[in-house]
Structure formats: C-alpha cells, structure tokens
Amino acid sequence: MGRKHKTNGRRSSVRSRRVAGLLGTVCVTGGIATVETAEGVFRLTERGMREAMPGDTVTVSLHRGPGGERRAQVESVEERSQTVLVGTYHQAGPLGVVRPLDKRAKLDFFVPPRDQSPERLGVTDGDLVAARIVSYPTRMESGVVTIERRIGGEDAPDAGIQTVMARYDLADGYAPAALAEAESLELDVESALQDPLRRDIRNRFLLTIDPVDARDFDDAISVERTPAGGWKLGVHIADVSHYVLWESSIDLEARMRSTSVYLADRVLPMLPERLSNDLCSLRPHEDRLAFTVDIELDARGRVVSSRAYPSVIQPRVRLDYDAADWLLRGEEAASDEGEAEDVDLACAERAERARRDAAACGIEITAFLRDADELARARQGVRRRRGAIDFESSEVHVVLDDEGVPERIDVRRRTAATSLVEEAMLLANECVARKLVAAGVPAAFRVHEDPSPDELTAAAEVLIEAQTIDRQEALGIMTGDSHAIEGVLERSAQTSQAPMVNALLLRAMQRAVYRPHNLGHYALGADAYCHFTSPIRRYPDLLVHRALKMLLARERLGARAARERAPRLVGMGSQDMEHILPALCREASSRERIADAAARDSQKVKVAQYYAQRVGERMAATVTWIDQMGAFVRVDETAAEGLVRMSALGGNEWWEFDERRLTLTGASSGEVISLGQRAIVEVVGADCMRGHLNFKLIHTLSI
C-alpha cells in the first residue's frame, strides 16, 4: 500500500470567495497541478486545469478550497508553451491517437481520418512519433495533431535522443542554401590584411585550451608578465563576422537557430561545419582571422587599458583542460609516487606533446600556464571584492562508445585550467561591453537583474530552519547583499550542506537574458557585460562583433568608412540591426533556454541508460531537493540525480511534506528528511525514454 502525504505550507487568508484575472504559468509535478503567479503558487482545483497544458500561460480565478486554502481554476489559456509533442501512436478505428510521452499532459490528441501523415511516414501502432499540434483541446473538443516524424520503436538505439529533439522541435541538418554559401567561402589572409583595422600578430605565441573532445576552437589566449608585476592578456576570438554577412543565407539560418545545441551524442551547430570546424576553428599552425582584445592589468588584476581590433593569428599549441591541469600540477604530482602510478597516460602524452610544441617556439609552457593561473586568481579576487557570486559549477557528462551506449559518467568540475580560461573570457566580455556602453552603441548585452526579495526571503527562511545560517546572514541574503550570498556559499563549500545552499540560492536568482541596452550583471558584479567570446555557437556574440566593428570603423576611419561597411555588418534602412535588435535578443534568450533544457534532458536519457543496467546497486547520495513527489538525490560517484518517491522512502507510514522548511517527516516515526541529508539509496528503475532515474531509500546517514 503506497504511503500518502500531505503538505503543510504557508497559507494566506482571502477576503472574498473569488479573485479573477490573475496571470500565471501552469506547472505539474508528481501529478499535482499548480499555477505560479505574481501573488504566489496556488494549487489547481480537481478539474481546474481544464484545457491547459504544462507550461502554458493562463488566466486563473482563485477560490476558497478546503480549510480556507486558496485554489486556482483556469479561466483561459493566454499563450501555449508547446507546438510539438512526442507520444506513442495508436490506431482507434478511423482515428489515429497520439498519447503524449509526457505524463503530465493528461489528454490524448487525435489524427483525423483525412490526415495521411501516418501512412506517408510509415507509422505503425506503438511507434513513437513527433506530432505538431494543429488545434489544442477545448472544453468541447479534443486536440488534433499531424505526424511530422516517425521516431521508431522504443528499442531504437537513439530513440531517447530523438525524443528529446522532437520535444524541443530540433532537427539535424542544415538549409541547402546556407550550406552552399558556406562551401563557397575561402580564407584569404592577404586580402583581409588590406583592411586598415586588421593587424597581423602571427608572431605572437597563442594557445587554445578546450575540452578534450572539442571539435571547434573559437578562442585562444596569450599571456605575458609586465615589468610592473602585472600582465598583458590577449583574448583572440574567431572572426565569424568576416564570413557571415548581414542577412546572408548563413546569417538568416544562424539567426533562426541562435545557438548551437550540445546533446549527449551530437551537436546541432548554429553555423555550417565549413565555418565552425574549419575556417573559424582556431587550429594550431594554421592562419586564422580573429577579433583580438588586448588587456593590460596591474599587479592586483585591475584593468589598466584595453584595445580591440580584427587580427590575423596563428595558434601554436592546442591543449585540453586535463592536460593543462596536469602541467600546472605536474611537479607536485610527479613527487607523489602513488598519484604518479594513477596518472592518465594519454593525458600525460598530450601534455608532453604540447610542451614540445611550445618549446619549439621558445616558450616554457608550464611557466605560461602559471602566469595565466596567477592572473585568473587575481581576477577572481577583483570580482569577489566587487560582489560577484560564484555558484558551484559541475556538469554531468556521459561518455559514449561508438554505438552511442554509455560507458561511464564523468563529472566536469571547475579546475585551475577551466578557471584561467573562464576568467580571460569574462574579462574580455567586460572590456568589450564597457567600450560599447561608453560609446552609446546598442548591442546584445547580457543582463542579469537583481533577484526577487520574496525568493531570497524564502531561501533564507529554509536555510535558517536548517540551521545553516544565522539571523545576520539571513538579513544579508534577504536584502540581496551579494557579498553575504557569496559568503554563505564559500562557508558551506566542501560540506554536505553545499548542494542545498547552492540549489536554494541559485533558484532565487533571476535568469540572465539578452537585452538591447545594458542593465548590468548582478551575479558577476559587473556594471556592463556582453557575450563576445563564442560567435561560432551564439548569435548574440556575432551581433556584438558587428557592433564593435562598426564602432571601431567610426573611431579610426571616420563616418564615411563606417557607412560603407554597414550593409555587410548591420544592414541598412528600416530592417537594420538596431531596429530588430530587441526581437533578436528576445529570440536568443528563448532559444538559449530551449538549448539548455534539451542538453540537460539528453544527458538524463543517457544517465538513465547507464543506470538501467545497475538496478539493485546501492550507493551514497545527498538529498538536493524536496517537493510533493518525494526527495531528489544526487549520487556521490557520478553526480547523477534521481527521485526517491514518497512510496520509496521506507517505513509503512505517511510522509508529511513541509513546503516552508522543505522537509519530509514520518508521521509515526518522526524521522525528518531534509535538504543536505546524506543517505544510502538503491537504484530501482530507469525510464530511458523520459530520462528519469528512480531510487528507494535504504537508510539515512548522520551529517
């Protein structure tokens, strides 16, 4: 018999029986439907969801429910969140039926007899399909769809990834016109150097540092110390805007995609491979066109001056993060016999190859990396003093074999090598943003607004209840003091409470978005910020490159020269970049959210496949979140996350969910499960199509 649960959340009194006209977003979790509004989160009445679907923007009315609790009822759907759904196809007489794979969507959709898409695509009973919604369900009629793609049976090797792609309306392939245009492009260094803005810096030592499996390399760095004890940093970014002209076929396709999407087993690139993996990829010993930002810093890491210009470069060394870290700690590792025996030989070989390549250029690569590492640490100090917030950063990455089958799960965390690259890119982005702002140039700025006081207060209250922070720290969090937030994160780091603190405070933050005007970046503590360093994979970076080139042309060559360059950089007339910039920023923000969600879901699919072969195994984990469904846990070894449902918490008792404290309490035993709780869990199931991983609780551990 399954355990029941009830909520014990905060309730607000109401003076009237019904309040209408409140706008919100429908959310369905564990079979419980709620609506998130500006006045709070309200549970929908039993039939209050009506024709709405998860994620829809709706207008609701509020009613008094049992015990005076306010309940919501959908009055109308204002905006649909889904245009495509993935489901299982069945034949029911003359009608086709698509049952959504997403169990939160309670309604089936129909394919009318006149629609020949199932026959045309060879769809048979039980197949997974991607269907485009023709009409949404109403109180009087069922929803109608047309089949766009047959994914296949659930046993198809990549059915899970294909399902993710269909869910987010993503597709492989590229528009033929854009591909043909890309194939016609050539690298002509001598012609490029005829541009008076472009400088030839091929004699400078540059290297790239990327993940070991990276295929495109869009940034390189150069570093040297100054006599005054500071640094000269060069950040060199692929000059995509030289090849992708305004409103060319490639530009229009890239604008529509807005970002590359990195799925577990493939990349859906923003640009054709001719550009992303060839002309614009900064490969060692090959001439490339770049956009360079040279920055001089003092001994404390503060910017003294910066200069941006188009360039011609030739990177000399390619490093991956593991090899760079190995070089940075090489002497220390070599002195530890036990560690030396466990060193990844392939990593050591890559590091040694890079050392030889650098030595051929007269550079001692370990010294180069240490200079860059010291610069990164100095910049971290600068950002910390001005109130930047650094959240825990880790990424679950499933390593696949040639057939797409998971071999192992790697956890990519911040290291010295990733930090030195990250700090260089952050600094270049800031310098470019400041220059654009100072000149009053509209561009795609990266904006992170201050967090909501209500969200911060809710997070602080949970942390107080968990005895993680004191009242003074809570006051700092509630008022949005970034120094206080960073202090709590630092103090909890490397403790069992770190995941809870990180999750609660991160959930209280706003999401960073693109805006046509600068509004600052709260988490970075930056007065101005933009994305400049990844134009191969992000369209806003390409917009920033174009805006900066126009500014440099006006400053150094005059207004006439700038006007001559305008058609291929920012357009002319009523449809130029400045006029459509707000729409481009909105679309880029939206596509970024889609790309991030698809990437996460694709990794979850492969994580589920990995653990499907390990049902019955037990492992240590930490509770990272709690809601009406149960306790979400993160496995120590792989950082994979899954759910311990209410029915799998153990003990033949009811579990009471406290919405305010985010705890689960056994009604008879009194046992309390809270955020940060350590536990031993057992894998009980994996839904490979949906990317769900389910555990049961064996026993909790003392913290």
Asked if residue 468 lies in contact with residue 500, where contact means CB atoms within 8 angstroms, the answer is: yes
Nearest to 167 by CA among 603, 608, 598, 600: 598
Mean pLDDT for the stretch of residues 583-589: 96
Q: How confident is the model at residue 4 (pLDDT cuts 50, 70, 90)?
A: very low
Mean pLDDT for the stretch of residues 572-588: 87
- CA–CA gap between residue 487 and residue 474 (Å, rounded): 11
| Model confidence pLDDT, tens digit, residues 305-361 | 999 999 999 999 999 999 999 999 874 544 343 344 445 788 999 999 999 999 999
DSSP H or E stretch at residue 462: helix 453-465
Give residue 52's pLDDT.
86
Secondary structure class of 182 (helix, strand, coil) = helix
Secondary structure class of 497 (helix, strand, coil) = coil
Secondary structure class of 333 (helix, strand, coil) = helix
Asked if residue 231 lies in contact with residue 547, where contact means CB atoms within 8 angstroms, the answer is: no
Secondary structure class of 193 (helix, strand, coil) = coil
Give residue 27's pLDDT.
84
Q: Which domains are present in the chain?
A: 16-79 (2.40.50.140), 84-153 (2.40.50.700), 176-431 (no CATH), 450-509 (no CATH), 614-701 (2.40.50.140)
Q: How confident is the model at residue 146 (pLDDT cuts 50, 70, 90)?
A: very high
Paired with 620 in beta bridges are 680
Give, to the nearest 10 degrees, the angle between helix 416-438 and helix 321-328.
Answer: 110
Residue 527 CA to chain centroid, in angstroms? 23
Q: How confident is the model at residue 168 (pLDDT cuts 50, 70, 90)?
A: confident
Name every residue whose Cβ is closer than 8 Å to that of residue 119 and which is 6 or more positions away in sequence: none
Q: How confident is the model at residue 53 (pLDDT cuts 50, 70, 90)?
A: confident
Give residue 65's pLDDT.
67
Mean pLDDT for the stretch of residues 387-416: 90
Asked if residue 463 lies in contact with residue 491, where contact means CB atoms within 8 angstroms, the answer is: no
DSSP H or E stretch at residue 120: helix 117-121
- CA–CA gap between residue 546 and residue 133 (Å, rounded): 38
- CA–CA gap between residue 432 and residue 540 (Å, rounded): 13
Give, to the nearest 10 degrees, the angle between helix 577-612 and helix 159-167.
Answer: 150
- CA–CA gap between residue 594 and residue 170 (Å, rounded): 9
Paired with 619 in beta bridges are 681
Mean pLDDT for the stretch of residues 65-83: 82
Mean pLDDT for the stretch of residues 287-305: 98
pTM, rounded to two decimals: 0.87
